[in-house]
Amino acid sequence: MVFASISFLYYFLPIVFIIYYLVPQAAQNIVLLLASLVFYSYSEPVYILLMLLAILSGFLHGLVIDKFKSQKEEKYSRMAMISSVVVSISLLGFFKYADFFIANFNHVFKANISFLRLVQPIGISFYTFQILSYTIEVYRGSADVQRNFLHFALYVSLFPQLIAGPIVRYTTVASALDSRRHSWEDFAIGVRRFTIGLAKKVLLANVLGELCSAFKAVSEKTVLFYWLYAVAFTLQIYFDFSGYSDMAIGLGKFFGFHFLENFNYPYIAQSITEFWRRWHISLGTWFRDYLYIPLGGNRVSTARWLFNILLVWLVTGFWHGADWNFIIWGLFFGLLLILEKYFYHYLFAKLPPFFSHLYVLFCVIIGFVIFDAGGIYDGVSSVMGMLGLLEMPLFNQEALYYLQSYAVVLLLAIIGSTPLFNVLVRKVKSKKHGELIVNLVEPVFLLVLLLMVTAYLVDGSFNPFLYFRF
């Protein structure tokens, strides 16, 4: 089940919401846990057993880690923490990467091992990292062990962030698992955040996805069409994923949880370093805290720092998908970050912000074209097409037709990827009676968005979710 669906919006969510607020507070966690299990099993009834196994492993490992945390038995606590990492990564590796390793083994050693052809469990990359953050934090002493299995299972499986994040740290929601406060203010904020995220996903990301699909279906491509596709996909993945994060944060507020922000207008960044501080924040901070810093971070020799950066970004790319183009995508950004460390000050820092912004957008667009490729060859071919290095015309009538047809959506998406709208709202609020005007207009605006989304979904239009792949 996905948030952007009639079944979720008008059946699942209202039923869960009504039951949640009708039962006593002591039973609300049970309602949320059962709802989360139903939500997950709607799409993958078999793999719910895998998620429950991962939850049980994380819960038991946490208990063992806590039991042996004393100075004399610390080595057993460390062994339990390492065991948790091995079990979690093994489950993730087997179900997500088995065929990738088999394919490469067959290629290198000319073998003929049959593929397992496992269907990748939805959300496994996200809930695996949540379990790992818990056991590692318990080992470090920065989180108290959770002795209530129901609470721990709810932390891992909570449906607002289950299938696509943001990656929620246990310390962020630990107190809310025991007791939480509900208010009309949080509910109103949640409605606004969820509706805007839903509109970003359905009215922008989905429509941009139609343009990307049209490009891939066309046999006679042009340089213009390559760039149309590249820009459209770069915007699509932002509105798809940030829209989902908005919906997750909004849903969390419905039920008294406060998830941290996951996106902060990454396309206004002036450097690649800044871009990754603004994009998928929960993933970036996860790798920083649990891989980069334990490796030594930047408090090591230059050679070791270079190794740390490249390893982290290799793993970041591989986390996103079991194919070489994801690894290349990760290493591409790792190399850019290294180059920025040594040369950014000389190349861009003294120039007008426009040039550094242009450089960031160009690199990000190239990166996402590689990200979306069907393999290394497809990625290289697409980049060459964008640079005019393939034998093809600059444009044709078909490319111009799609540019004209999607110009308004592209323009709205470009504006929507900046803080311009929020800045305008704040300026209106600062005027006399401005806040009253905004408070009167906002509910109507949100209702119109919801009606437009509903009409789009009822029509059965194009409605993919990109991060199901990852």
Q: Which amino acid is at 314?
A: L
- d(CA 246, CA 168) in angstroms, rounded, equals 14
As a whole number of Å, the end-to-end CA separation of the chain is 16
Q: For residue 130, give both structure tokens.
A: 């949540």
Which listed residue (107, 320, 345, 433) is catalytic? Answer: 320
CA dihedral 286, 287, 293, 294 (to 10 degrees): 100
Q: Which two tokens stand for residue 456?
A: 């789009």
Beta carbons of 170 and 257 less than 8 angstroms apart: no
Based on DSSP, count helices (H) and strands (E) in the chain, helices before strands.
20, 0
182 is catalytic: no
CA distance 398 to 384: 20
Q: Which two tokens stand for residue 361?
A: 């957008």
Four-CA torsion 414, 415, 416, 419, nearest 10 degrees? 120
**Is the separation of the CB atoms in 350 and 253 below 8 Å?**
no
Closest CA to 332 of 298, 293, 287, 380: 380
Yes or no: say if 382 and 373 are a contact pair by the CB < 8 Å rule: yes
Residues annotated as part of the active site: 320
